[in-house]
Amino acid sequence: MTATDAPPDPNPAADAHAFQADVAKLLHLMVHSVYSDRTVFIRELISNAADACEKLRYEALERPELIADGAPFLITISLDKDAGVLCVSDNGVGMSRNDLVEALGTIANSGTRAFLEQIKRPPSSEGESEPGVQPIGADLIGQFGIGFYSAFMVADRVDVETRRAGQDEAWLWSSQGRGEYTIAPLALEDAPPRGAQVKLHLNEASKEFLEPWRIESIVRDHSGAVATPIELRESPTAAPRVIADGAALWTKSKSEISPEQYAEFYRGLAGQFDEPALTIHWRAEGRHEYTVLAFVPGSRPLDLFDPERKGRTKLYVRRVLITRDCAVLPGWLRFVRLVVDSADMPLNVSRETIQESAMFAAIKRAIGNRLLQEFVKTADSDSATWSKIWSNFGPVLKEGLYEDPEHRDQLFKLARFATSKSPEGERSLSDYVADLRPNQTAIYYLAGDDAKRLAASPQIEGYRARGIEVLLLPDPVDAFWTSTAVGYEGKPFKSVTQGAADIKSVPLLEGETEVPAEPTPDVATLLAFFKQTLESAVEDVRASDRLASSPACIVAPEKGPDRRLERMLAAHGRLGAEASKPVLEINPAHPLIAALSKRFEEGSERAFVEDAAWLIYDEARLMDGDSLSDSAAFAARLARVLEKAAG
């Protein structure tokens, strides 16, 4: 059976609706794309069913009549080879008509557009797909909360038969994934007592999913740790059998859990298909009793820097899910995937009240502290693992250096940096301090937006000549934490692009040449002319002791903000008053400067030297990561200088 000869709509008189625009695009991709892993639809439907059971468990705390039948929560996968139908059913909370419209007709997830943008890539050269459509991996589907629609990867039609717990109405939602869906009343005798039945009319290419061994293998691999039992009914007449016991993984002893079981649970919790980089599992006893199972992902989630992204912590109270997006961790630990199960918190209050309680605040602090302790332990004992974690999440952890001074000392122990001596990015601050040069009194850094450009910056030439290591900081947050951190082990942080270099007391490395402390009279005259020429653009022009091979660089004034911070503040309109003018520093020993000073002294090349002054300034700005303020003037000056040189 193909999409063109799909089974007819079971209720042609049903009320028809058009999908939300983003859903329609998504369904188009689901139907026409080539998929790298179609088995994801089973994991996603099971995850939705488990959520429905957990939601009803919570609602029944205030309305116990919702589960008065006493039936245990259960997920059932039923196979019907003759009809070509796979059904995933649950006895959870179910859906009303409005629930169906909101949950299956629209996507309220801000990540949806990000998902659609992510897959706008060149088409795959393998398999058949519509031109311009990229194969969609299971990792993408899981991360953006759009798992239900993955059913259309394998089905020509999807029917959802559902009844909201406590209601006397049932509904049938149906769609062939072609831009619209229908909702019709469903007779109660044809509906589940409560919960939902998702029936997939499988296409010809997907009949493999009617094989019991195939389903059992997928469930054990990807959903074995779901906290709701799962049964498999191999045919309409067969008795169901349990294929997953529904025991909450975090309640088990660590010795009872294999690495594979931890990885399975992590994938379901995080919506990712990689391996966790770090697993942390503990039970706290004492004043407050709770269990925590935490994972550091093996790769960056795609929404890591989404400003609307919520926390990914599931909060349980005695195995009752209170909320799946609990704000347990500070923003700078948002990459950690977490389950917290409390034995002390009350169940008879709202989830908002729980999260505002003093008990919850104490648990939050304790969890954050424990995670940092585990991170420090890993960084000390397993440098390879920590290096991978820092590579993925270092920019996020560094947010804590700015936002959370209380934990700054611990975060300094975790931080790893690229430096002028170690561009691969694995230097700790303790390594840096251990290698301080004689008379070095500060920890020097250079902030920017690209580590390779920073490594080639003229501002660090003089430091390199003296063997002084410079931290290369390419992340936006670096400009902020360095401005508020006092220092490390008594050594203050100092930007190499702010104020005077003050490094003359540090001895040069063998073979390096000292730059003259004072410029010669003719160079001093040239610098005075440069200052006069550039007075509208710079605060000062002075001889530099931070340059070695470049003719010039620009730095911030002693009392102004760091160059990187000033650019960021200006870009966001946060400078307030007019931006400070930079200082142009000149290398008095550079051959270009010597040649220009000679021409200027001769008196006949004033216009030429004036053009050269502006070109040197513009070059210094470009090397600093700035753009030209007047590209036309730059081009005209460059043409005149080249013409003069050619003549």
CATH for the stretch 521-556+581-646: 1.20.120.790
pLDDT confidence bin for 3, thresholds 50/70/90: very low
Which runs of E-coded beta strand occur in 176-261?
A: 180-185, 195-202, 230-233, 241-244
Q: What does the pLDDT look like over 112-150, one tens digit per residue?
A: 444 445 545 444 434 343 433 444 444 443 444 457 888
3-class SS at 58? helix
Cite the DSSP H helix spans in 404-543: 408-414, 429-434, 451-455, 461-465, 478-484, 521-533
What are the extents of the domains in the chain?
3-244, 249-385, 521-556+581-646
> Where is average pLDDT lowest: 22-31, 275-284, 286-295, 611-620?
22-31
Model pTM above 0.85 = no
Would the pLDDT of 290 be above 50? yes
Angstrom distance (rounded) from CA 258 to CA 161: 37
3-class SS at 453? helix
CATH topology of domain 3-244: Heat Shock Protein 90 (3.30.565)
- The structure tokens listed for 534 are 């550039």
Angstrom distance (rounded) from CA 283 to CA 235: 42
CA 466 to chain centre: 38
Contact 197, 87 (CB under 8 A): yes
Q: What is the dihedral of CA 451, 582, 492, 450, to 10 degrees?
A: -10
The single-letter code of the amino acid at 600 is F
Angstrom distance (rounded) from CA 254 to CA 269: 18
CATH topology of domain 249-385: Ribosomal Protein S5; domain 2 (3.30.230)
Are the folds of 249-385 and 521-556+581-646 the same? no
Q: What does the pLDDT look like over 625-643, one tens digit per residue?
A: 888 889 999 999 999 999 8
Q: How far is CA 422 from CA 426, 469, 577, in A?
A: 7, 9, 38
Q: Which helix (H) or strand (E) holds 400?
A: helix 383-403
* Residue 313: predicted pLDDT: 87
Backbone angles phi, psi at 416, to 5 degrees: -130, 140
Q: What does the pLDDT look like over 205-216, one tens digit per residue?
A: 999 999 999 999
* Residue 296: predicted pLDDT: 96
Would the pLDDT of 338 be above 90? yes
Q: What angle do CA 17, 28, 47 make, to 5 degrees?
A: 80
Q: What is the dihedral of CA 262, 264, 266, 267, to 10 degrees?
A: 160
- The structure tokens listed for 83 are 């009809």
